[in-house]
Amino acid sequence: MSIPTPHINAKAGDFAETVLMPGDPKRSKMIAENFLENAVLVNDVRGVQGYTGTYKGKRVSVMASGMGQPAIGIYSYELFKFYDVKNIIRIGSCGSINPELHLKDIVIAQGACTNGFYASQYRLPGTFCPIASYELLEKSVEAARKSGANFRVGNILSSDTFYDDAQSGLDWAKMGVLGIEMESAALYCNAARLGKNALCICTVSDSLNYPDEVMTAEERQNSLTQMIEIALEIA
């Protein structure tokens, strides 16, 4: 296979070596318009908007992943494998599992547990442990400290279910898992398989412990400045 890929109609060289990856295509547009200079639309297949521009003089791209491990699995694979992208930094939202985490706090995902089977494709005789790039992780911690954000570094859960019949998200608290989202484990698997770098930074948008704590879709889209700036500083 070569470019354009089935899901990305950009040309060779259209993407920078670092891509910020929100879930929501609207957030991708918002970041390009408000944080990047000279941003150009490089992908719009299925409305999954991708832009390349500059931040503090450095070339950076931003493209949405859509929701769930199958979706981020496709986009991150195609960017790493066919567009020579080296770093993907997911900037998403998560539900907090750890009771000390509240709305707008930031979780940096050192590792990603999952209830899904994305890694079964590698046919390993055990359980693969999807982890962040140490280099990106270290830089993100430095940037997060400087920003003054309330952040924690640790495990998150990439769940294949948002509406979970067993409501099993909080079961992971006993293992110290901080938050729940739906994409990072597949992203970390692709990075490992293709020798690339990935990191996920999430803003807490709701809480499994405190159901009254919720952000509206609009708040979620707009109140993520601190996380976006941390990701752009690493890029």
Q: Could you tell me the smallest distance in angstroms from the CB atom of residue 162 to ligand HPA? A: 5
Binding mask 134-163 for ligand HPA (x = CB under 6 A): -------------------------x--x-
| C-alpha span between 176 and 218 (Å, rounded) | 30
Q: Which part of the chain contacts ligand HPA (CB under 6 A), choosing from 41-49, 104-112, 138-146, 180-188?
A: 180-188
Among 24, 78, 105, 206, binds ligand HPA (CB under 6 A): 206
Check if the beta carbon of residue 130 is closer than 8 Å to that of residue 189: yes
Please report whether residue 183 would count as binding ligand HPA according to CB under 6 A.
no
Q: Does 25 bind ligand HPA (CB under 6 A)?
A: no
Active-site residue flag, 206: yes
Q: What are the b/e assignments for 32-71, b being 16+ CB within 10 Å?
A: beebbeebeebbeeeebbbbbbebeeeebbbbbbbebbeb
Give how far Cα 9 sits from Cα of 21, 78, 195, 200, Å: 17, 11, 23, 25
Q: How far is the CB of 95 from ligand HPA (least distance, A)?
A: 3
In whole angstroms, how close is the CB of 221 to ligand HPA at the nearest point? 13
Closest to 188 (Cα-Cα) out of 196, 180, 177: 196
Please identify the residue of the shown chain whose CB is closest to the bound ligand HPA: 95
Q: Which of 108, 181, 184, 203 binds ligand HPA (CB under 6 A)?
A: 181
Q: In the block, which residue shows the tokens 């889209």?
A: 221
Q: Bin 120: left if φ > 0, else alpha if -120 < ψ < 50, else beta.
A: alpha
Q: How far is CA 119 from the centre of its chain?
A: 17
Catalytic residue among 14, 24, 105, 206: 206
| Closer residue to ligand HPA in complex, CB, 53/111 | 111
The residues that are catalytic are 206
Q: Which residues bind ligand HPA (CB under 6 A)?
A: 93-95, 159, 162, 180-182, 205-206
